[in-house]
Chains A and B, each alone.
Chain A
Amino acid sequence: MEPKRVVCYLNQFFGQIGGESEANTPPKQFDKPVGPAMGLQQLLPKNCQVVGTVVCGDDYFNEHLDEAGRAIESMLKKLAPDVVVAGPAFNAGRYGMACGAVSKIAHELGIPAVSGMYPENPGVESYRQYAYIIETSNSAAGMRQALPAMAKLTAKILQNEPIGSPREEGYLSRGIRTNIQVDKRGSERAIDMLLKKIAGEDFETEYPIPHFDRVSPADPLQDLSTATIALVTSGGIVPKGNPDRIESSSASKYGKYDISNITSLHSDEFETAHGGYDPVYANESPNRVLPVDVLRELEQEGKIGRLYPYFYATVGNGTSVANAVKYASAIAHELVNEGVHAVVLTST
């Protein structure tokens, strides 16, 4: 049987080129294991071989993302690994970002990636979805614990064994939800957790609350009667037929829709694309989710300066925080550029 192929990615230090003075080294390919990759080789099963090590300076990588990425991509294509192992980077930020970016390149080539980082390494936040990142200590003193854990997971992937949950395998959550079969139904599990919580016992949540950032409150409007107000909703209001095909759950996009000639949202022209709540009431009168009728009235009465001629909509149901932040940022930039003064955001 052909041996399984592993390629390692290391920075200049672990790749034994040199210290900080060599951090500007462009990507180099070695057709053998180097440094920690030698240790990894010893921990892998016999039919798994480290066929190459790619080494790049941390500064070079982070300052020449495109060039370094392209060079490493072509090295990976030539080496054709079954798994890429990047790092471990511990809490080294630049190295972690490089390991993450290399994992992403591998991911895009259809190659699974394993890395190792301290949870606060910025590489975790930026690239967690592209690799199984084994949780390590914050310094290279943890190499002895990190390598066996990374080798074990690498071997599992190479042998096509099912990969368990982050807790079982010791990797940091990739933010990916998968379906599993369990014996007890949700209500029972929820009550069990609640009882444990009340009793002050340890329990493991099935859905940790993601981290949300905080934004300082914006200054108030000085004068409503001259302000341009925009409507934005996560309630899924779209033109009838949902022309952009916004998904009813885990929306991958938002829409922007013209209401310049609309005085009220009627059921024959608008509807909701949102799953997870009874859509009857929103479909009957979309104003119940997006109050165009009332804002138009207030505009005519001169209470507000102007209703912005477009509204933005996405579906909040199951949409990831990362995507929501992305949509919000795009929408907010556009609204600021268009001279909008304030936003009314509605959610179902």
Chain B
Amino acid sequence: MGLPVVHICTVTPISLTVGANRIVPAVAIPYPLGNPKLGEVEERGLRRKIVEKALMSLTRPVTDQTVFED
């Protein structure tokens, strides 16, 4: 029932407060899915890792708010 949603965000306590059920922590507020200090290839690898984790979370049954830590 309904659409599964994964919230990728840096400040996970806010995500918990507003009621997200699947939460994947991100890197930083101004660049949740990147890191300007890394080279282009490395940065993209980091982004892919976070997105893959987010997609994985969409396939996991959850009964309560869940933060998918490493």
Which of A's residues lie within 8 Å of B, judged by CB?
209, 212-222, 224, 227, 229, 235, 277-282, 284-285, 287-291, 293-295, 297-298, 303-304, 321, 332, 335-336, 340-348
Contact = CB atoms under 8 A, between A and B. Distances in A.
B33 A212 contact: no
A251 to B, nearest CB: 16
Contacts of B15: 347
A75 B21 CA distance: 49
Given A219-B1, A348-B32, A209 B17 contact: yes
Contacts of A303: 52, 55
B47 to A, nearest CB: 5
Contact of B3 (A294, A304, A342, A348): A342
A293 B47 contact: yes
Nearest to B17: A212
Contacts of A290: 33
Interface of B: 1-10, 15, 17-22, 26, 29-34, 36, 43-44, 47-48, 50-52, 54-55, 58-66
Given A219-B61, A321-B18, A341-B3, 9 more contacts: A209-B17, A212-B18, A227-B58, A291-B50, A294-B44, A294-B48, A342-B58, A346-B8, A346-B9
A73 to B, nearest CB: 37
A293 B33 CA distance: 11
Given A212-B19, A287-B33, A345 B7 contact: yes
16 contacts: A217-B21, A218-B1, A218-B3, A219-B4, A281-B30, A288-B43, A294-B33, A294-B51, A342-B5, A342-B58, A344-B51, A345-B5, A345-B6, A345-B7, A347-B32, A348-B29
A216 B36 CA distance: 36
A294 B7 CA distance: 16
Given A224-B58, A348-B29, A343 B5 contact: yes
A215 B2 contact: yes
Contacts of B10: 347-348
Nearest to B48: A294
B60 A293 contact: no
Nearest to A222: B59
Nearest to B54: A344
A291 B6 contact: no
B47 A287 contact: yes
A342 B4 CA distance: 5
Given A217-B64, A347-B8, A291 B33 contact: yes
B64 A277 contact: no
A150 to B, nearest CB: 34
B36 A281 contact: yes
